[in-house]
Amino acid sequence: MPKGIAILGSTGSIGTQTLQVIAAYREEFVVEVLTANKNADLLINQAMEFQPNAVVIGNESEYEYVTEALKNFPVKVFAGSDKLESMIGTANEKGTGLGLRLCQELVHVNKGTIKVKSSLETGTTFSISLPGISPVS
């Protein structure tokens, strides 16, 4: 039975990388929840592809747009910053910090590696390698 995964900050770099890993291991993981602060278009695309039970868009002004786009999908849509517990990133983006923990678990379970490159001015890049899958940066 697949493990249910909630991806908080699914439109960020770690969230999108996590979804790439999940896409490669669909028999082991199912996406239950996706969240994003303001990237409604990418959240909509992700919801259409992975069809989670729910999505949360932090920017309340995007609620109707996301709801309309997903009206033909079995996905519940929620909105508001109160739905997203957040921290501020290097580019003032909001996130929860849980994407990295999920990636670490996926990488560990699949005997892969995570490489980190960080710079104070430009932020952090994570590269994930899994056996049998081309590296993702």
For position 71, what pLDDT does the model report? 96
- 56-111 pLDDT, tens digit per residue, is 898 899 999 999 999 999 998 988 765 554 434 445 555 555 566 667 767 777 78
Where are the domains positioned within the chain?
Answer: 3-136
Tokens read off for 47: 């919801």
114-131 mean pLDDT: 70
pLDDT of amino acid 124: 65
Q: Is the pTM of this model over 0.75?
A: no
Mean pLDDT of 120-134: 69
State what percent of residues in the chain have pLDDT above 90: 29
CB atoms within 10 A of CB 117: 11
Nearest to residue 54, comparing CAs of 5, 87, 16? 5
**What is the CATH number that goes with domain 3-136?**
3.40.50.720
Query: What is the distance between the alpha carbons of residues 8 and 17, in angstroms, rounded to a whole number?
Result: 12
